[in-house]
Amino acid sequence: MARSTARRRGRRGVWVLVLAGLVVVAGAGLVWQLGLGPLPDPEGCTATVGGRTVTLTTEQAENAALISAIAVQRGLPARAASIALATAYQESKIVNLEHGDRDSIGIFQQRPSQGWGTREQILDPVYSINAFYDALVRIEGYRSMRITEAAQEVQRSGFPEAYEDHADDARVLASALTGNSPGGRFTCVVRHSLEEEPDTLDKGGLTGRAAVVRRELEGVFGDLSLGGFAPGGVREGHMPGSTHYEGRAIDVFVRPINRANKRQGWAMAYYLVAQAGRLGVDHVIFDNRIWSAGRRSEQGWRAYDPDTRGRPPAVRKVLEHRDHVHVDVVD
């Protein structure tokens, strides 16, 4: 009897240890997910303008940045991006949905039956965003309308005032993502989980991952002045250890240095940060600020401190990345 009781006690002790282990694992998972304690912040993005902070998932940030970037590429005002973002918030929570009311689909819940395009076209975010702006710019006086009124003119929703619920957040995102709020007002925490890519350089001198970034930048923002890579690779002209020498970096020039070009530079920098997880972006540098993937949110953008001692002003501006956006990708 004593031996049987001891065995039961032993089994109970084992189960107690197992349950305790499960609690520890679950707690650690929750801490990781919430970004508590010494572990990194959870993945996601924030925009802070005028004391108001908007938080997005990485998926929402990718779409919001694309909405804003297309407005920049088309030469539209930030107001147009605000209207589009408020609409996307209301219609889909800025997610590219494959379903909706009746035949509504996509970021703006556009309907093939209402002439917005085919299902395949509408589910292409670039197509659907341009279709929205095509309709918006035909509205006389949309720049001076309330956001909800302009959105309603495009969407013809059964809830015409609903878009105004998202107007404040949309204005914050549009101000940041169009580059009108510089200096690191938009940041993300991302963790890469990408498939390995060969380090072989393409005919332009870029790795496969960097070449994808180049194609995307040109596809979204149009013709750009690019540098930092060359057929066969570059071997000089950059700091020791630069990722340019590995074909993993691109410079996007925004010369001359002026207010408009600085705005363009920040729009591209923020776009790259928003797409960092998907594209494998590791660092973005612009206007003497640097963003790094994997850092806590409050450290996302920080001062960039190159050694400019004894350098002439023109060289200092280049070293501080005042006239170009630098982006590099993970191995």
Residues 128 and 223: their CA atoms lie apart, in Å, by: 21
pLDDT exceeding 70 applies to what percent of the chain?
86
Spans of all domains in the chain: 52-178, 190-329
Phi, psi of 69 (to 5 degrees): -65, -40
pLDDT band at 26 (very low <50, low <70, confident <90, very high): very low
SS3 at position 227 = strand
pLDDT tens figures, 275-310? 999 999 999 999 999 999 976 655 689 999 998 889
pLDDT tens digits along 94-104: 999 998 888 99
Q: Does residue 17 carry a pLDDT above 70?
A: no
Q: What is the pLDDT of residue 16?
A: 43
Mean pLDDT of 217-226: 97
The pLDDT tens digits of the residues spanning 175-221 come to 999 999 999 999 999 988 787 777 799 999 999 999 999 999 999 99
pLDDT on residue 107: 98
Q: Which residues contact 328 (CB under 8 A, 6 or more apart)?
A: 210, 243, 244, 248, 249, 250, 281, 282, 283
Residues 311, 186: Cα–Cα separation, whole Å: 31
111-134 tens-digit pLDDT = 999 999 999 999 999 999 999 999
The secondary element (H helix, E strand) that includes residue 283 is strand 281-286
Sign of the CA dihedral with 112 first, then 115, 117, and 118 last: positive
20 pLDDT band (50/70/90 cuts)?
very low
Q: Average pLDDT, stretch 3-29?
A: 46
* pLDDT tens profile 54-65: 999 999 999 999
Length of the chain equals 331
- Mean pLDDT lowest among 20-24, 124-128, 147-151, 187-191: 20-24
The reported pTM is 0.86
